[in-house]
Structure 1
Amino acid sequence: MNDLPNVENNQSMKKVFSRIGLAYFIMLALDVLFSRLIGVYFHKAGITDPNSWLTYLSSMIPLWGIGFPVCLLILKGIQKISPEEHNIKAFNLVKTYLSLTAVMILGNIIGIITSSIVGKIAGGNLTNTTMNMISEQELLPSFLFAVIFGPIMEELAFRKVLLDCAGKYSKKYAIILSGIMFGLFHLNLFQFFYAAALGMVFAYIYLSSGKIRYTICL
C-alpha cells in the first residue's frame, strides 16, 4: 500500500492508530496495576524473597495473562491484514543478526549515557532494574521466561498484532510506532533506545517477509 494515503485513508489511519495507542496503554496500565497488587500481596503475606519461578510468574501474568488479552479485545474490531510472505535467505539473516548486534551495542551506549545525564540532573542514580532482576534469578526459569517465552510474546504483540492492524495504512509509520511502543514498554531509559531501534528493524523484517518466525529467531 502507498505510504502517501489520501484524506479518507488518513482519517482512518488516525482512528486506527489512536485505538492501537489506547489498547497498548491499557495493556501497560493493567500490567503496572496488577504487578503492584501482587507486590502488596507478597508484602502482606511476608514473602520478601520469592524464588525465581514466582518472580517471573508475578511479572509475566499481569502483562501477558491480563494486559495482553484486554489489548486484543480492544483491537478486535480493527481489520487485520498480514503482509505477503517472502523468504529471506540465510546469508541475509546472518547479516541482519550482525547488524542487530551493532544496533544493540550503540543503543545500549546511548541509554547508559542518557540515564547518567538524567540521573545527575535528578540528583540520583538510575538503575537498570530489569537486568538487575534477571541477573539475580536461577538459570532455568530465566532461560524459559526471559529467553524463550518473553521474546515470543513480545514479537506477537509488537510485531504480529500491531503491524497487522497498522501496516496496511503506512508501513513507515507502522514501523516507527512498533519501535517506539516496544521501547516505551521496557519502562527504563537504559533499554529504551536499543529496544526502540531493534523494534523498528524487526518491524521492517516482518513487513518485508510476512513471517513472524524470522523476528522470533533473531
Structure 2
Amino acid sequence: MTSKTNQEIRKDVSRFSGLCLLYTLAMSAVVTIYSIVTLLIFIYQHGGGDLQAAKEAASQFLANDGGMYLFAVPVGLLIFWLYRKKQLFSTDLRHKKRAITPKAFLILTSLLLLAQTFFNLFSQFFESFLNIFGLSIMSSVEAASADSTTWTMFLYSAIVGPISEELIFRVAGLRTFEKYGKVFAISFSSLLFGIFHGNLPQIIFATFVGFIFSYITLEYSVFWAIGLHIFNNLVLGDGLALLYSYLPGVLVGLVHVILLYGGSGLALYFLYSLRKEISVYIKTNKPERGSFRSAFMAVWFWLFTIFMIGNAIYMLFL
C-alpha cells in the first residue's frame, strides 16, 4: 500500500468517525432541549405549583416517548447530506437491479435471528461477570430490547430509525469506504454502526447485523437493506412482542427459544453450506494489506469509540 492510500484511509475514517461523534452530540443536544421543553409543558399543566409531580410526570412521559429522536434524525441526515456533497439522496443511492429471492430472504432472516441469539448469550454472560463486582447490565439490555409502547417510539424504532441509519451507515458510510474494497467497507461501516449505538451488549448485535445490511446494500440495494431493517425491528421486534402478549405465559418462553435457536441453527447450516462462496467473496473483495491497520490509526475513530464506550460504561453505574 502506498503512503498516499494510507493517509487517505486515515483521513476518511477520521472524518466519518468525527461526523458520527458530531451526530451523537447533536442528538444529545436535541434530546436535552426536547426534555426541557417537555418539563416546562408539564409544569405549566400542573399550574406551576407541584414541581415534583410535574417532574415525575415528565420523566414518565419521556421514558416511552420517541419524539425526541424524531426531531434528532433530520439533524443527523443534514450532517451527512452535507458531508456527501448533497449526493446522499441522489447518486449515493445507486443500486444493482437484483431482487432478493425467497431463499436469500430466508438466509438473511435466519442470520438476524442468529445475531439476536448472540446478543442474548453475550448479555447473560456479561451480566454474570458484572454481578461479581456488584454491577448489572440489565438496564442496558432492557433499553436495547424494549418494545415500543407509544406511537412516536413505534414510528422511530420501526420506520424512521431504520431508514436514517441505513442512509447514514449503508449509504454515506459504504460510499466513503468502498474505494478500499467491499470487505473493508462492510467491516468498518458495520463496526462504526455498532459503536454508534453506545450500549455495550448492543454494540456486538448492531455490528453483526451491520454486516448483513451492508452486504445487502452493496449486492442488492439500500432499499432492500432498509426493508430488511424495518422487518427486523417491526416483525422480529415489536411484532413478536405483540404475538407473545396473546400467548399463555408458559408458551412464550418455549416459542421464543424454538424461534431463536431454530433460526440460529438454520443460519449456521447456511453459513457452513455456503462457506466456499463466502471465502471466494472475501478473497475477491479483500482490501490492500495494511488497510485496517491504517484505519485503526485514525485519531477521530478512537475519540468516537472512547466517548461511546465510556458513556456505555458510565450507564452501568447509574
Per the shorter chain, which TM-score range? 0.7 to 0.9
Which residue of structure 2 aligns with residue 19 of structure 1?
Answer: 15
- How many residues matched? 208
For the structure 1 residues 120 and 41, does the alpha-carbon distance in structure 2 shift closer, same or farther, using more than 3 Å as the test? farther
1:95 aligns with 2:107: yes
CA contact (8 A) 2:170 2:217 kept: yes
Do 1:163 and 1:178's aligned partners in 2 also have CA atoms closer than 8 Å? yes
Q: Which structure: larger Rg?
A: 2
Give the Cα–Cα distance (whole angstroms) in 1 for the partners of residues 70 and 177 of structure 2. 26
Q: Counterpart of 2:165?
A: 154
Q: How far has the Cα of 1:34 moved from its partner?
A: 2.5
How much has 1:208 moved relative to structure 2?
2.2
Distance in 1 separating the partners of 2:203 and 2:60: 28
Cα deviation digits, residues 119-164 of structure 1 (max 9, x gap) = 643x3322135347x43623x4444221122111111111111111
Look up the SS of the partner of 2:60 in the other structure.
coil
Is the Cα contact below 8 Å between 1:108 and 1:194 reproduced in 2? no
| 2:74 aligned residue | 65
Unaligned regions of 5+ residues in structure 2, if any?
Answer: 44-53, 229-318
Please say if residues 190 and 208 of structure 2, whose CA atoms lie closer than 8 Å, have aligned partners that are also in contact: yes
- Distance in 2 (CA, whole Å) between partners of 1:151 and 1:124 is 31
Are positions 1:192 and 2:203 aligned together?
yes
The verdict on how the C-alpha distance between 1:185 and 1:118 changes in structure 2, with shifts beyond 3 A counting, is: farther
TM-score (norm 2): 0.57
Check 1:115–1:65 CA distance in 2 against 1; reply closer, same or farther (3 A cut): farther
Change in 2 beyond 3 A, CA 1:180/1:113: same
CA RMSD of aligned residues (A): 2.9
Measure the CA separation in 1 of the matches of 2:17 and 2:87. Answer: 13
The answer for the alignment partner of 1:135 in structure 2 is 147
State the Cα distance separating 1:183 from its structure 2 match.
Answer: 1.3
Q: Greater helix share, 1 or 2?
A: 2
Aligned residues of 2:166 and 2:225 also touching (Cα < 8 A):
yes
Partner of 2:126: 114
Q: Does 1:173 align with 2:171?
A: no
Change (3 A) 1:20 1:77: farther
Contact 2:148 2:154 in 1 (8 A): no
Structure 1: which amino acid aligns with 2:121? I
Q: Aligned residues: percent identity? A: 22
Q: Does 1:105 align with 2:117?
A: yes
Question: Which residue in the other structure is 1:42 paired with?
Answer: 38
Equivalent residue in structure 2 for 1:10, among 6, 20, 44 = 6
- CA shift at 1:78, angstroms? 9.6
CA contact 2:187–2:211 (8 Å) conserved in 1: yes
Partner amino acid, structure 2, of 1:104? Q
